[in-house]
Amino acid sequence: MNLSQSVLEFLSGDVNAKRIVPPSGFTARLTAFTAAAMAFLAVFALALSLATHRLAERWSGELAQSSTIRISAPLEQREAQTRAVLRILETTPGVATARALPPDEQRALLAPWFGADLPVETLPIPQLVEVVETAQGLDSEGLRLRLSAEAPGAVLDDHTRWRRPLVRAAERLNLLGLGALGLITLTMAAMITLAAGSALAANREVMRVLRLIGARDTFIARAFVRRFTLRALAGSAAGTVIAMACIWALPSVEQAGGFLTGLGFAGAGWLAPLLVPPVAAFVAFWATRFAALRALKDIP
């Protein structure tokens, strides 16, 4: 029998096994609600984790493939040194493009601190040269040596100093999201074990009678496991759908900008939350099976 047949058989259920457990409204609602709430949180944790992963990759990629050269020279030498730097860059392997930032762009960069009317042309503000690297990247140390020889006022900043803490922060957020997912999974397992334990305690006499008429532990456990697994599956499916709808309704990055609005799924990432209900059902299956077999150990 293959896996899909086993799953179908389990879902369709042994009509005799599933009838042996009396209906229990409270534990049914508790299990479904717990699964729904945990699935809702799991989808958000997943979204956080995926978003921070994307962010880390973007920051890492974008900053890793660009550098800035800062030319701090007297006003009368600035233009000559800028031309020298651009010439050096033209012959430097690993440089895709290089350009000196025009005064408008430099003004825009400084505007948040000094206002929009800053006369950058007349002030001893360093000239910035933006360097975009090829996929292979450039030899930073070699370039620094050439710059110090031919344009003494030029300093290469390959963004390493900025990039490392940013990427580290994003990676830690990613780990935090994954940790939250693990915690949510464990909490769900604990809650379902408790709910199953309550149902099992309430049905101890049923289990005892079944043992005495010759039922094996797996037969008795299966009835409880199937019920709790299906409840967890249904509850987590509902929680997942609601969470996905909430995330879909969040403002997009383009609309609002900023990090938090980047929380969500992109492209095939929307398929990731669909894993939450099967995982919840898997957790419920093993949590209930563990609780049922443990409870049965006390019954001869």
Partner 1 sequence: MIELSDITYGYDGSPLLNGISLDLSPGSFHFLTGPSGAGKTTLLKLCYLDLKPAKGTITVFGAPSEKLGRDAIAKLRRRVGVVHQDCGFLEHLSLRENVAMPLAAAGQDPTQHDAEIDELLAWVGLARRADALPAELSGGEKQRAALARALILSPDVVLADEPTGNVDWEMSLRLLTLLVELNRMGKAILIATHDLNLIRAAKAQVTARVLRLRRGQLDVAGVDL
Distance between CA atoms of residues 74 and 82, nearest Å: 12
Answer yes or no whether residue 295 interacts with partner 1 by CB under 8 A: no
Quick one: which of 14, 3, 37, 59 has its CA closest to 191? 37
Backbone angles phi, psi at 156, to 5 degrees: -90, 130
Answer yes or no whether residue 300 interacts with partner 1 by CB under 8 A: yes
Q: Which stretch binds partner 1 (CB under 8 A): 38-46, 116-124, 202-210, 244-252?
A: 202-210
Closest to partner 1 by CB, 95 or 210? 210
Q: Which stretch binds partner 1 (CB under 8 A): 74-82, 93-101, 161-169, 214-222?
A: 214-222
Answer yes or no whether residue 25 interacts with partner 1 by CB under 8 A: no
Answer yes or no whether residue 19 interacts with partner 1 by CB under 8 A: yes
Give 10: exposed, middle or buried? Use CB within 10 Å, 0-12, 13-18, 19+.
middle
How far is the CA of 293 from the CAs of 36, 138, 170, 262, 290, in angstroms? 25, 62, 43, 45, 5
Distance between CA atoms of residues 50 and 181, nearest Å: 12
Task: Please report how close the Cβ of residue 218 comes to partner 1 at its closest, in angstroms.
Answer: 8
127-133 and 66-71 beta bridge pairing: antiparallel
Distance between CA atoms of residues 260 and 242, nearest Å: 19
Answer yes or no whether residue 165 interacts with partner 1 by CB under 8 A: no
Of the residues 211, 269, 286, 290, which one makes contact with partner 1 according to CB under 8 A = 211
Task: Please report how close the Cβ of residue 235 comes to partner 1 at its closest, in angstroms.
Answer: 24
Closest to partner 1 by CB, 33 or 219? 219
Task: Please report how close the Cβ of residue 3 comes to partner 1 at its closest, in angstroms.
Answer: 22
Closest to partner 1 by CB, 253 or 299? 299
Radius of gyration of the chain (CA): 31
Of the residues 1, 2, 5, 23, which one makes contact with partner 1 according to CB under 8 A = 23
Beta strands in 76-178 (DSSP E): 95-100, 127-133, 154-157
Q: How many residues touch partner 1 (CB under 8 A)?
A: 22
Instruction: Name residues contacting partner 1, limited to 215-244 (CB under 8 A).
Output: 215-217, 219
Answer yes or no whether residue 87 interacts with partner 1 by CB under 8 A: no
Answer yes or no whether residue 209 interacts with partner 1 by CB under 8 A: yes
3-class DSSP state of 257: coil
Task: Please report how close the Cβ of residue 214 comes to partner 1 at its closest, in angstroms.
Answer: 4
Answer yes or no whether residue 290 interacts with partner 1 by CB under 8 A: no
Distance between CA atoms of residues 156 and 162, nearest Å: 13
Give the single-character DSSP code of 238. Answer: H
Closest to partner 1 by CB, 15 or 249? 15
Residues forming the site for partner 1 (CB under 8 A): 14, 16-17, 19-20, 22-23, 205-206, 208-217, 219, 296, 300
